[in-house]
Structure 1
Amino acid sequence: MDLEQREINVGTISPYFEQYFGHKPTVVAASPGRVNLIGEHTDYNNGFVLPMALENNCVVAVAPSPTGKHRWCGSLGDTIYEIPVEEASEKGEPFWSNYVRGVVALLGRRGIEVGPVDMLIDSNVPRGGGLSSSAALEVAVCTALAAQFDADISSKDKALIGQAVEHEFVNVPCGIMDQFVSAHGKKGHALMLDCADLEYKLIPMDDPEVSVLVLDSAVKHSLADGAYGQRRKQCEEAARILNVPSLREADLQMVEAAKAELGDVRYRRARHVVGENNRVQAFAGAIATRNWDAAGVAMRGSHASLRDDYEVSCPEVDTLVSLCDSIPSASSIYGARMTGGGFGGCIVALVKTKDVDKVGQELLDAYRAATGIETIYLVTRAGDGARVLSRK
């Protein structure tokens, strides 16, 4: 069984748009979800992350509304909501509309007035599995509206707008990674981002013999906003003790030297962040040279650190990662790790393409046997970032 691979494009969304609104869309735009290959809980520590855009996208179709009001439909078959233009920059109902409202408001602050539009949203980015369906939505909406109103919005600004929407309209204090790779992704490439200054480089990841397998644990333990904030605070405290602006400026020698002063928890949090930054750089070098064994070593080290030092994994995710070393086709897996914020969600693995479906099925069967949980998987390659698909 595969995660949703339903094809969506101009040809699939346009007939629905015309059926719902009585006229054709003038702009259709798309933006992808993402999987973070390595670099977890480093973003808010000014560190490195290395995600890639998925081939799964959120597609947004828009056109001027003849009613003088916005008419928005959040998914195929959903209710069409009429929203007065003067209320569209404020939080409101339904909840999903806040992602659109936020983009409208942030564009308005840049002097881009969004007149009444009809909008239909469709997506095959899985929701709730840590693959950034919300970032795909924000960036796709921004790309579509910018094209509709002839606004020149850079990829970087689309990412910053999406992040601001999360902060102000959805109350999620996220970093920049998800929106950044959704806006900047390139087919056949992973993206290494320096969260300190938003400089990035695209790294070829187009070896046909290696595929990315994403497998959902099908559990989401409450990350208690407290757990995220607690770890962020612990990292900030560790940086102060180490007398550096952020843990990005620390190295493992400094962390070891201050072990007693840091105390056990802050020591382990700092060791994870510093070590993870090193692993991101090692992973980048490995995939650039197609040294998949070395990439796998970095992934395994990342998971162990997230489990033991940062303590954001959970038994189900640990089981999935462990099964990657014990299923019959384990030799076809270069490496695996949890991906996303933690406490559930997905794992990501680098797998030999010729065996990827066999590996996926073996993992489903073994995970069901170990936990009783039925789940799903996605096989993907690096996809393109935000783009306009059609403009009339």
Structure 2
Amino acid sequence: MKKKLVQQVTASFKEQFNAEPGYVFLSPGRINIIGEHVDYNDGFVLPAAINKYVCFAVSENEDGQNTFFAKDLNESYSFNLNDELKPVDKMWVNFFLGVLQQMKERGFAMKGLNIAFSSTVPMGAGLSSSAAVECGYAFALNKIFDLGLTKEEIALIGQKSEHTYVGVNCGIMDQFASVFGKKNKVIKLDCNTLEYEYHNADFKDYALLLLDSKVKHTHLTSGYNDRRNEVEQGLAILKQHYPEVKTFRDLNEAQVEAVKDELGDVIYRRCLFVVREIQRVLDAVAALENQDFAELGRLMYATHTGLSKNYEVSCEEIDFLVDSVRNDENVLGARMMGGGFGGCSINLVKKEAVNGLIERIAKEYKEKFNIKLEAYKVKIAKGTTLYTEQHAGI
């Protein structure tokens, strides 16, 4: 699959630019095993890069022109490196412009690039195709122009480009996972300090399966921003009662319970979810280390219940996908993954049962919602990388 993508993008580059690319880069999407909506709440997350990629075929040019060709959309965009950069109407272009703006602000010397790119990371499924684009482009600039950026700096540049040019106030997890991913390893990431550690994630007889609801409800952005405001209000109230508390990580359930009346029902439930989810990530790391996949599955289900009932970022379609595997003996755990209000559920499923499960759920889902379910079998893969470098013509 990887090879086929590289071949297609290379052919597309030749067609557009009448030359061979100098470099090919691969930048992966990501999953998050557990730790949802805690990346901006001082928690830990447990993401991993997956074997779905944005592939970039790239060459330098001498005239300072940048030309990007989005193969999947059959759209091009060109501008001069010396132009003043600002967000444009074509949303996909802003992922590149936001990254380039930061490189320019740092005073890096660069030339123009011709780029053709294509993706096997499904759009809108919560697998962070946007982070894969940002980090892949930043990684390419760093490599080609020998800018000396660290992996961490590349991830932060990707995140800032999303804040400034795309208008999404995302946490650091997506970009970090895309850059730092390792095969068969999850990353326990501290979203405050960016300290991280790898943990084994070889699921033995089990596989990771994503079920894509194919829905994206419009209140994703507004709902996300509302949640951020609610938990900020909650933390401010909790800090008044517990002066030693700096972040949600310093709190336990009992402390949240004690202030329940003052928090009010909604903010109480938001804060309770966050405190519990931070603990679940730590428990999940222990379960992985012990290869206790049943416990990991139980934690995934518990996260989904919290996301659905207390954080209220699920939706009818995703709840249906999780509930329909809850009593299946071949499924250890399932939950909504990503920002919510649509996207995918992530499922830990016995390998030999995967195809049968997809068939069953797809049929039930079509009957219930008249939507064609998409399923993605994913493996944990390595992060953003240079795939090939053609020395000829450089």
Residues 1:255 and 1:325: Cα distance change in structure 2 (over 3 Å): same
What is the deviation of 1:179? 0.5
What is the deviation of 1:114? 2.6
Alignment of 1:217-366 (within 5 A): 217-243=213-239, 244-326=245-327, 330-366=328-364
**Cα distance between partner residues in 1 of 2:305 and 2:223:** 19
User: Given the two structures, how large is their TM-score scaled by the length of structure 1?
Assistant: 0.94
**Cα distance between partner residues in 2 of 1:6 and 1:183:** 17
Residues 1:175 and 1:8: Cα distance change in structure 2 (over 3 Å): farther
2:380 matches 1:382 = yes
Residues 1:77 and 1:46: Cα distance change in structure 2 (over 3 Å): closer
Alignment partner of 2:122 out of 116, 120, 126: 126
> Residue by residue, what CA displacement relative to the aligned partner does 1:2-60 show, whole Å, maximum 9, x if unpaired?
xxx67545444223212211222112111100111111111111111111111001111
Residues 1:224 and 1:358: Cα distance change in structure 2 (over 3 Å): closer
Alignment partner of 1:106 out of 99, 102, 112: 102
CA contact (8 A) 2:57 2:115 kept: yes
SS of 2:348's equivalent? Answer: strand
Residues 1:382 and 1:61: Cα distance change in structure 2 (over 3 Å): same
CA contact (8 A) 1:16 1:76 kept: no
**One-letter amino acid of the counterpart of residue 333, structure 1:** V
> Residue by residue, what CA displacement relative to the aligned partner does 1:175-213 show, whole Å, maximum 9, x if unpaired?
111001001000111111111111111111123411100
**Cα distance between partner residues in 2 of 1:345 and 1:375:** 11
> Residue by residue, what CA displacement relative to the aligned partner does 1:240-292 show, whole Å, maximum 9, x if unpaired?
11113322221112111211221211111111000001111111111222111
**Cα distance between partner residues in 1 of 2:213 and 2:16:** 36
**One-letter amino acid of the counterpart of residue 315, structure 1:** E
SS of 1:150's equivalent? Answer: coil
Q: In percent, how many aligned pairs have the same letter?
A: 36
Residues 1:365 and 1:84: Cα distance change in structure 2 (over 3 Å): same
SS of 2:329's equivalent? Answer: helix
What is the deviation of 1:364? 1.0
**Cα distance between partner residues in 2 of 1:359 and 1:7:** 28
SS of 1:216's equivalent? Answer: strand
Q: Which residue of 2 aligns with 1:29?
A: 25
Residues 1:79 and 1:318: Cα distance change in structure 2 (over 3 Å): closer
Q: Which residue of 2 aligns with 1:47?
A: 43
Residues 1:8 and 1:133: Cα distance change in structure 2 (over 3 Å): farther
**Cα distance between partner residues in 2 of 1:305 and 1:85:** 47
**Cα distance between partner residues in 2 of 1:77 and 1:313:** 29
Q: Which residue of 2 aligns with 1:81?
A: 77
**Cα distance between partner residues in 2 of 1:54 and 1:127:** 14
**One-letter amino acid of the counterpart of residue 51, structure 2:** E
Please, which moves more after superposition, 234-243 or 217-226? 217-226
User: Given the two structures, how large is their TM-score scaled by the length of structure 2?
Assistant: 0.93
The runs of 5 or more residues in structure 1 that have no matched partner are none
The runs of 5 or more residues in structure 2 that have no matched partner are 240-244
**Cα distance between partner residues in 1 of 2:249 and 2:206:** 31
CA contact (8 A) 2:25 2:140 kept: yes
**Cα distance between partner residues in 1 of 2:235 and 2:126:** 28
SS of 2:188's equivalent? Answer: strand
**Cα distance between partner residues in 1 of 2:183 and 2:384:** 11
SS of 1:96's equivalent? Answer: helix
CA contact (8 A) 1:323 1:367 kept: no
**Cα distance between partner residues in 2 of 1:10 and 1:27:** 11
Residues 1:134 and 1:389: Cα distance change in structure 2 (over 3 Å): same
2:21 matches 1:20 = no
Please, which moves more after superposition, 104-113 or 134-143? 104-113
**Cα distance between partner residues in 1 of 2:57 and 2:213:** 32
What is the deviation of 1:98? 1.1
Please, which moves more after superposition, 17-26 or 72-81? 72-81
Please, which moves more after superposition, 226-235 or 291-300? 226-235
**Cα distance between partner residues in 1 of 2:377 and 2:349:** 10
**One-letter amino acid of the counterpart of residue 251, structure 1:** N
Q: Which residue of 2 aligns with 1:369?
A: 367
Number of equivalenced pairs: 385
2:142 matches 1:143 = no
CA contact (8 A) 2:70 2:117 kept: yes
What is the deviation of 1:374? 1.1
2:160 matches 1:164 = yes
CA contact (8 A) 1:39 1:276 kept: yes
Alignment partner of 1:197 out of 193, 196, 200: 193
CA contact (8 A) 2:159 2:170 kept: yes
CA contact (8 A) 2:322 2:334 kept: yes
